[in-house]
Amino acid sequence: MKTLAKLATLAFLCLWACHPATTTGTSWQTDQWDSGITLVPCTGWSVCGTFPAYLSGGSINDLQWTWTAPLTVGTTLSIPFEVVTTGTVSYQGSPNGATTDTPPYRVTLMLDHANDNSTDVNYRFYCTLPSGTYLLGTADNKPQVLSCPINWQDWTNVDGVTNQAGFLNTIGTLGNINLVFGGNGGLAHGLQVIGKATGEVGAPTIQ
């Protein structure tokens, strides 16, 4: 039994020592669809930013981390974050998004092909696992980690279907790792908040 326990301990340690986490790029950035949000450095995180207020004309749609190194099938993408709220808060779909956007509003991991032309449905892939999505309001004010294995079966394209060839092409010619904000009808259509909510986000890692 002692021998088995030692082997289990060594195997656990090897997950970290033999497969260390890697990060490339420098920081999170907003994209052209975001407005009314400014990202700033904050202690313990890469950036922080306050969600745009409801009916302010602003919207948080997509945070991007430039990542051009190819991803390896079988590794796992992880991003730590926390949503910090003050008082009573509710989330709303951005008026800039589609009228079909409805709750639950969420944050989702997305992979973005380099030189995304916004027309090829296989240039963006969204994690479909519960571990790769955070439903806003369910565990605010608690640190979270979004994670998703780099396996084509666990990601869908813009049309909501898996596509092995398209996924492998995207992870081989990657442009950005993304956190997208939206609801049913559009995972990246954008959000606003009634009340006050601030997002705190750490660097993505692949392990």
Report the pLDDT value the prediction gives residue 6, as an integer from 0 to 100: 43
Q: With pLDDT > 90 as the criterion, what percentage of the chain qualifies?
A: 66
Length of the chain: 207
Task: With a cut of 70, say whether residue 10 has pLDDT above it.
Answer: no
Q: Closest Cα partner for 177 from 156, 151, 203, 154?
A: 203
pTM of the predicted structure, to 2 decimals: 0.85
Report the pLDDT value the prediction gives residue 94, as an integer from 0 to 100: 75
Better pLDDT: 100 or 32: 32
pLDDT tens-place string over residues 51-60: 999 888 888 9
Phi-psi category of residue 14: left, alpha or beta, with phi > 0 → left and psi -120 to 50 → alpha:
alpha
Q: Which domains does the chain have, with CATH numbers?
A: 22-206 (2.60.120)
Mean pLDDT of the chain: 86
pLDDT category of residue 21 using cuts at 50, 70 and 90: low
Average pLDDT over residues 122-149: 97
Q: Which two tokens stand for residue 200?
A: 């705190």
Residues in CB range of 33: below 8 A, 6 or more apart: 59, 61, 62, 96, 188, 190
Report the pLDDT value the prediction gives residue 4, as an integer from 0 to 100: 40
Task: With a cut of 50, say whether residue 15 has pLDDT above it.
Answer: no
Task: With a cut of 60, say whether residue 16 has pLDDT above it.
Answer: no
Report the pLDDT value the prediction gives residue 82, as an integer from 0 to 100: 97
